[in-house]
Chains A and B, each alone.
Chain A
Amino acid sequence: GDSVTQMEGPVTLSEEAFLTINCTYTATGYPSLFWYVQYPGEGLQLLLKATKADDKGSNKGFEATYRKETTSFHLEKGSVQVSDSAVYFCALRGQGGSEKLVFGKGMKLTVNP
Protein backbone atom coordinates (compact mmCIF):
# COMPACT_ATOMS: atom_id res chain seq x y z
CA GLY A 1 0.00 0.00 0.00
CA ASP A 2 0.87 3.66 -0.10
CA SER A 3 3.33 4.92 2.48
CA VAL A 4 5.35 7.99 3.44
CA THR A 5 8.73 8.00 5.12
CA GLN A 6 9.99 11.23 6.53
CA MET A 7 12.91 12.42 8.55
CA GLU A 8 12.11 12.15 12.23
CA GLY A 9 13.17 14.53 14.93
CA PRO A 10 13.12 16.24 17.11
CA VAL A 11 15.27 18.90 15.50
CA THR A 12 16.42 22.13 17.11
CA LEU A 13 17.73 25.02 15.02
CA SER A 14 18.79 28.56 15.65
CA GLU A 15 16.82 31.39 14.11
CA GLU A 16 17.85 32.12 10.48
CA ALA A 17 19.25 28.61 9.99
CA PHE A 18 18.51 26.61 6.83
CA LEU A 19 15.93 23.86 7.14
CA THR A 20 15.55 20.65 5.17
CA ILE A 21 13.10 17.90 6.08
CA ASN A 22 13.39 14.81 3.90
CA CYS A 23 10.33 12.95 2.69
CA THR A 24 10.06 9.97 0.36
CA TYR A 25 6.98 8.06 -0.66
CA THR A 26 5.78 4.77 -2.07
CA ALA A 27 2.67 4.84 -4.22
CA THR A 28 1.47 3.71 -7.61
CA GLY A 29 0.97 6.25 -10.35
CA TYR A 30 1.05 9.93 -9.55
CA PRO A 31 -0.15 10.76 -6.05
CA SER A 32 -0.68 14.30 -4.82
CA LEU A 33 1.89 15.33 -2.22
CA PHE A 34 1.49 17.61 0.77
CA TRP A 35 3.22 19.16 3.72
CA TYR A 36 1.06 19.83 6.77
CA VAL A 37 2.07 21.73 9.88
CA GLN A 38 0.69 21.29 13.38
CA TYR A 39 1.23 24.13 15.83
CA PRO A 40 0.80 23.40 19.55
CA GLY A 41 -2.87 23.10 20.45
CA GLU A 42 -4.05 23.56 16.88
CA GLY A 43 -5.26 21.34 14.07
CA LEU A 44 -3.26 20.33 11.05
CA GLN A 45 -2.86 23.11 8.51
CA LEU A 46 -1.94 22.62 4.90
CA LEU A 47 1.43 24.27 4.30
CA LEU A 48 1.92 23.48 0.62
CA LYS A 49 1.12 20.91 -2.01
CA ALA A 50 2.11 19.61 -5.44
CA THR A 51 -0.09 17.52 -7.66
CA LYS A 52 2.19 16.45 -10.51
CA ALA A 53 5.81 15.66 -11.19
CA ASP A 54 8.24 18.62 -11.15
CA ASP A 55 5.64 20.90 -9.55
CA LYS A 56 6.98 23.14 -6.81
CA GLY A 57 4.74 24.00 -3.90
CA SER A 58 5.57 27.09 -1.87
CA ASN A 59 4.11 29.05 1.03
CA LYS A 60 5.43 31.27 3.85
CA GLY A 61 9.01 30.85 2.62
CA PHE A 62 8.79 27.04 2.54
CA GLU A 63 9.28 25.12 -0.70
CA ALA A 64 9.09 21.52 -1.85
CA THR A 65 9.46 20.00 -5.33
CA TYR A 66 7.68 16.83 -6.48
CA ARG A 67 10.45 14.53 -7.73
CA LYS A 68 9.00 11.48 -9.43
CA GLU A 69 12.38 9.97 -10.29
CA THR A 70 13.45 9.88 -6.64
CA THR A 71 9.89 9.62 -5.20
CA SER A 72 10.69 12.53 -2.92
CA PHE A 73 9.12 15.77 -1.71
CA HIS A 74 11.69 17.39 0.58
CA LEU A 75 10.69 20.52 2.49
CA GLU A 76 13.11 23.48 2.62
CA LYS A 77 13.24 26.94 4.07
CA GLY A 78 16.18 29.25 3.76
CA SER A 79 15.85 31.07 7.07
CA VAL A 80 13.67 29.71 9.86
CA GLN A 81 11.98 31.83 12.49
CA VAL A 82 10.93 31.08 16.06
CA SER A 83 7.32 31.07 14.84
CA ASP A 84 8.13 28.06 12.61
CA SER A 85 8.40 25.85 15.68
CA ALA A 86 5.84 23.10 15.08
CA VAL A 87 5.43 19.50 13.95
CA TYR A 88 5.71 18.96 10.19
CA PHE A 89 4.01 16.08 8.37
CA CYS A 90 4.57 14.88 4.85
CA ALA A 91 1.51 13.25 3.30
CA LEU A 92 0.17 11.86 0.05
CA ARG A 93 -3.21 11.32 -1.51
CA GLY A 94 -3.23 8.38 -3.86
CA GLN A 95 -4.36 8.46 -7.43
CA GLY A 96 -7.90 7.31 -8.14
CA GLY A 97 -10.20 9.79 -6.49
CA SER A 98 -9.89 8.69 -2.87
CA GLU A 99 -9.59 11.56 -0.41
CA LYS A 100 -7.69 9.45 2.11
CA LEU A 101 -4.44 11.07 3.20
CA VAL A 102 -1.45 8.90 4.14
CA PHE A 103 0.88 10.66 6.56
CA GLY A 104 4.47 10.25 7.65
CA LYS A 105 5.28 10.13 11.34
CA GLY A 106 6.00 13.83 11.62
CA MET A 107 9.02 15.84 12.67
CA LYS A 108 9.05 18.25 15.59
CA LEU A 109 11.02 21.41 14.90
CA THR A 110 12.07 23.86 17.58
CA VAL A 111 13.64 27.15 16.56
CA ASN A 112 15.54 29.07 19.22
CA PRO A 113 16.15 32.83 19.08
Chain B
Amino acid sequence: ETGVTQSPTHLIKTRGQQVTLRCSSQSGHNTVSWYQQALGQGPQFIFQYYREEENGRGNFPPRFSGLQFPNYSSELNVNALELDDSALYLCASRPRSGGADTQYFGPGTRLTVL
Protein backbone atom coordinates (compact mmCIF):
# COMPACT_ATOMS: atom_id res chain seq x y z
CA GLU B 1 0.00 0.00 0.00
CA THR B 2 1.72 3.16 -1.22
CA GLY B 3 -0.96 5.71 -0.33
CA VAL B 4 -1.15 6.86 -3.95
CA THR B 5 -4.46 6.28 -5.71
CA GLN B 6 -5.43 6.76 -9.33
CA SER B 7 -8.77 7.02 -11.08
CA PRO B 8 -10.33 5.65 -13.07
CA THR B 9 -8.89 2.15 -13.10
CA HIS B 10 -9.77 1.57 -16.74
CA LEU B 11 -10.92 3.87 -19.50
CA ILE B 12 -11.88 3.44 -23.13
CA LYS B 13 -11.79 6.38 -25.54
CA THR B 14 -11.87 6.84 -29.29
CA ARG B 15 -9.25 8.48 -31.45
CA GLY B 16 -9.39 12.27 -31.38
CA GLN B 17 -11.06 12.50 -27.99
CA GLN B 18 -9.60 14.08 -24.87
CA VAL B 19 -9.01 12.33 -21.54
CA THR B 20 -8.23 13.36 -17.96
CA LEU B 21 -6.58 10.95 -15.55
CA ARG B 22 -6.38 11.65 -11.84
CA CYS B 23 -3.89 10.92 -9.10
CA SER B 24 -4.25 11.46 -5.39
CA SER B 25 -1.13 11.49 -3.25
CA GLN B 26 -0.51 11.41 0.45
CA SER B 27 -0.53 14.63 2.42
CA GLY B 28 2.82 16.34 2.16
CA HIS B 29 3.76 14.82 -1.20
CA ASN B 30 4.52 17.95 -3.16
CA THR B 31 6.28 16.33 -6.13
CA VAL B 32 4.41 14.17 -8.62
CA SER B 33 5.61 12.48 -11.80
CA TRP B 34 3.65 10.79 -14.57
CA TYR B 35 4.77 7.82 -16.62
CA GLN B 36 3.38 6.00 -19.65
CA GLN B 37 3.80 2.22 -19.75
CA ALA B 38 2.96 0.66 -23.08
CA LEU B 39 2.17 -3.05 -23.15
CA GLY B 40 5.33 -5.10 -22.70
CA GLN B 41 7.48 -2.02 -22.12
CA GLY B 42 8.94 -0.22 -19.15
CA PRO B 43 7.44 3.04 -17.94
CA GLN B 44 8.49 6.20 -19.79
CA PHE B 45 8.71 9.57 -18.06
CA ILE B 46 6.13 12.09 -19.25
CA PHE B 47 6.67 15.02 -16.87
CA GLN B 48 7.03 16.08 -13.26
CA TYR B 49 5.30 18.73 -11.20
CA TYR B 50 6.62 20.45 -8.11
CA ARG B 51 4.60 23.00 -6.19
CA GLU B 52 2.03 23.11 -8.98
CA GLU B 53 4.53 23.90 -11.73
CA GLU B 54 6.02 21.61 -14.38
CA ASN B 55 9.75 21.22 -13.72
CA GLY B 56 10.81 18.45 -16.05
CA ARG B 57 9.46 16.83 -19.19
CA GLY B 58 10.22 13.73 -21.21
CA ASN B 59 9.90 13.23 -24.94
CA PHE B 60 6.14 13.70 -25.17
CA PRO B 61 4.24 16.21 -27.35
CA PRO B 62 2.41 19.25 -25.91
CA ARG B 63 -0.96 17.50 -26.16
CA PHE B 64 0.13 15.78 -22.95
CA SER B 65 -0.36 18.30 -20.17
CA GLY B 66 -0.81 18.24 -16.45
CA LEU B 67 -2.01 20.04 -13.38
CA GLN B 68 -1.10 19.75 -9.73
CA PHE B 69 -3.36 21.05 -6.98
CA PRO B 70 -2.66 22.28 -3.45
CA ASN B 71 -4.54 19.29 -1.99
CA TYR B 72 -1.83 16.88 -3.29
CA SER B 73 -3.92 15.68 -6.20
CA SER B 74 -2.91 15.96 -9.82
CA GLU B 75 -4.20 15.39 -13.35
CA LEU B 76 -2.80 14.19 -16.62
CA ASN B 77 -4.65 15.50 -19.68
CA VAL B 78 -4.20 14.10 -23.16
CA ASN B 79 -5.78 15.84 -26.14
CA ALA B 80 -6.40 14.50 -29.63
CA LEU B 81 -5.94 10.89 -28.57
CA GLU B 82 -4.06 8.55 -30.89
CA LEU B 83 -4.12 4.78 -31.00
CA ASP B 84 -0.53 4.69 -29.67
CA ASP B 85 -1.66 6.47 -26.51
CA SER B 86 -3.14 3.16 -25.34
CA ALA B 87 -1.11 2.32 -22.25
CA LEU B 88 -1.00 2.10 -18.48
CA TYR B 89 -0.48 5.57 -16.99
CA LEU B 90 1.30 5.71 -13.66
CA CYS B 91 1.74 8.55 -11.26
CA ALA B 92 4.42 8.67 -8.61
CA SER B 93 4.73 11.08 -5.74
CA ARG B 94 7.21 11.74 -3.03
CA PRO B 95 7.11 13.54 0.28
CA ARG B 96 8.53 16.99 0.79
CA SER B 97 11.19 15.63 3.11
CA GLY B 98 12.06 12.60 1.03
CA GLY B 99 14.86 12.41 -1.47
CA ALA B 100 14.38 11.74 -5.15
CA ASP B 101 14.66 8.02 -4.46
CA THR B 102 11.56 7.86 -2.25
CA GLN B 103 8.89 7.91 -4.93
CA TYR B 104 5.64 6.02 -4.39
CA PHE B 105 3.76 4.72 -7.41
CA GLY B 106 0.03 4.39 -7.84
CA PRO B 107 -1.59 1.29 -9.40
CA GLY B 108 -2.16 3.07 -12.70
CA THR B 109 -4.99 3.84 -15.12
CA ARG B 110 -5.34 1.56 -18.13
CA LEU B 111 -6.29 3.68 -21.15
CA THR B 112 -7.50 2.04 -24.35
CA VAL B 113 -7.90 4.17 -27.48
CA LEU B 114 -10.04 2.68 -30.23
- Chain A: residues with CB nearer than 8 A to chain B? 4, 32, 34, 36, 41-46, 49, 51, 89, 91, 93, 97-106
Main secondary structure on A side of the interface with B: strand
For A51, list chain B residues within 8 Å (CB).
Answer: 101
CA distance A100 to B43 in the complex (A): 11
CB nearest neighbor in A for B108:
A43
CA distance A110 to B111 in the complex (A): 26
Task: Write the nearest CB–CB distance from A9 to chain B, whole angstroms.
Answer: 10
Task: Write the nearest CB–CB distance from B52 to chain A, whole angstroms.
Answer: 16
CA distance A93 to B100 in the complex (A): 9
Q: Are A89 and B2 in contact (CB under 8 A)?
A: no
Q: Are B42 and A4 in contact (CB under 8 A)?
A: yes
For A34, list chain B residues within 8 Å (CB).
Answer: 101
Q: Are A43 and B90 in contact (CB under 8 A)?
A: yes
- Chain B: residues with CB nearer than 8 A to chain A? 2, 4, 31, 33, 35, 40-45, 48, 56, 58, 90, 92, 94, 100-101, 103-108
Q: Are B56 and A44 in contact (CB under 8 A)?
A: no
CA distance A6 to B94 in the complex (A): 26
For A100, list chain B residues within 8 Å (CB).
Answer: 33, 45, 48, 56, 58
CA distance A4 to B42 in the complex (A): 10
CA distance A91 to B105 in the complex (A): 14
Task: Write the nearest CB–CB distance from A88 to chain B, whole angstroms.
Answer: 10
Q: Are A106 and B58 in contact (CB under 8 A)?
A: no
For A89, list chain B residues within 8 Å (CB).
Answer: 42-43
CA distance A49 to B108 in the complex (A): 22
For B101, list chain A residues within 8 Å (CB).
Answer: 32, 34, 46, 49, 51, 93
For A101, list chain B residues within 8 Å (CB).
Answer: 33, 35, 43, 45, 103
CA distance A98 to B33 in the complex (A): 11
CB nearest neighbor in A for B46:
A100
CB nearest neighbor in B for A51:
B101
CA distance A42 to B40 in the complex (A): 16
